């Protein structure tokens, strides 16, 4: 069976940057399960996997536009320390959920001064070309429930 829209796909992957530094991998763990054609993985990888079948190996470079996007300067903001009421020790690298006009947005602290905190709401892999090395483990039809929910269930997928 070939990978196409509305198929559940299980993959093992290794994600690296252009310097071949491994950033994430499923090797040695459960394969990642996703519902193809619903944006559950980055668009560039999803496109590269279309038409593949179990046992296929895929190596692909994904541009920022087809990955986690370009760096958006509007998502980097300076916020008064008072906005972190109840948090006494704010450090670079801490993660928070910020209320924005788009709803809840995860942010990471990138700098701290006496009065202000710089937070970045960009995805950590934004503005990076990504290298994926993928093995297709399994391709199957999605169940009606998976189609309704928009994601894979079971091993490697969402657990309800």
Domain ranges of the chain: 7-68+127-149, 73-120
Question: 141: closest CA among 66, 36, 38?
Answer: 36
pLDDT score at 98: 85
Reported as a pLDDT band with limits 50, 70 and 90, residue 28 is: very high
Question: 67: closest CA among 25, 125, 121?
Answer: 125
Tokens 């670079």 identify what position? 92
Helix count (H) and strand count (E) of the chain?
A: 2, 9
Q: Does domain 73-120 have CATH number 2.40.50.100?
A: no
As given in the structure block, the two tokens for residue 54 are 């179990």
Average confidence (pLDDT) over 103-115: 92
3-state SS, residue 48:
helix
Question: 60: closest CA among 131, 11, 135, 126?
Answer: 131
Q: So what's the architecture of 7-68+127-149 in CATH?
A: Roll (3.10)
Q: What is the pTM of this model?
A: 0.81
N-terminal to C-terminal alpha carbon distance within the chain: 27
């Amino acid at each position: 069976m070939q990978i196409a829209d509305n198929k559940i796909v299980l993959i093992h992957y290794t994600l690296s940057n252009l310097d071949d530094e491994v950033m994430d991998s499923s090797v040695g763990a459960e394969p990642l399960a996703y519902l193809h054609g619903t944006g559950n993985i980055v668009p560039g990888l999803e496109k590269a996997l279309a038409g593949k079948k179990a046992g296929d190996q895929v190596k692909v470079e994904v541009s920022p536009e087809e990955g986690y996007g370009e760096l958006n300067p509007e998502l980097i903001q300076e916020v008064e320390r008072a906005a972190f009421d109840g948090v006494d020790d704010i450090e670079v690298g801490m993660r928070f959920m910020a209320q924005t006009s788009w709803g809840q947005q995860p942010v990471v602290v990138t700098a701290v001064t006496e009065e202000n905190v710089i937070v970045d709401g960009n995805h950590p892999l934004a503005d990076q070309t990504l290298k994926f090395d993928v093995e297709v483990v399994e391709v199957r039809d999605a169940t009606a429930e998976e189609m309704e929910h928009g994601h894979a269930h079971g091993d490697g997928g969402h657990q309800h």
